[in-house]
Amino acid sequence: MRSHALPKLRPLKRHDLVYLDPARWDSVLERQLGSDRADPLIQSWVHREWPLVARRPMAHETHGIALGLPLPPSLEKRRIPLVVEADDILAIHEPTALACARGLAPMVWQRTFDELEFFAAHRGIELQVFGSLAWQALTGLAYLTSSSDIDLLLHVRSPADIDLLSSEISRIEDVSPSRIDGEFIRDDGLAANWREFLFRPADVMVKSMQGIALLDRRRFLAGDFLS
């Protein structure tokens, strides 16, 4: 997992893990959460050295840096939106590598992970996790449930055959005990769900920090930006 120390704050990508300055956490909560800030877990979150996650800003969030705090299922799996300033941030980390988190996953997932890691190693793909497994690994809290998906980020680079990759993931999912949810993601952060490529459509839905749009699937790996 690569980290990026401040003071120079690089542009955030979806799923980035953002670590805040504990000395500024109480003032962040006071500004934004009202009575919610009294929740002991929320109050202690940053003091426990746990990150928040980068997210796309909502329409009314025109200033600051949009982050989310995902609470575990025991607290109704709420997603708390926060907006912070650059000075509140200590560091930015990329999402957690699968290799660092898989030991906390259910035993029934391990064969699927073996197949995914073998597939990734032979295709030049970096595997990271987000969602329930990632947050359980980051916090030690119980996020995984019997209905949890396997949430993956698959970093791809040209000239990968993305149609073949999606077919291989589908084959692995066919014998997996859980659904594989995930995104092909480029170095610039532009991402598309791996299922978008299964039937070779003309356009795929892509996501970035700026929004959601359709993009010619051939342009996705060509590195083209959204207009």
Which residues are known catalytic residues?
Answer: 149, 151
Cα→Cα distances 209→11, 15, 118, 206, Å: 9, 10, 31, 11
What is the rounded CA–CA span in Å between residue 82 and residue 68?
Answer: 6
For 179, residues 6+ apart whose C-beta sits below 8 A from its C-beta are: 149, 150, 173
User: Quick one: tokens of 203?
Assistant: 């356009």
What is the rounded CA–CA span in Å between residue 201 and residue 159?
Answer: 18
What is the rounded CA–CA span in Å between residue 57 and residue 12?
Answer: 11
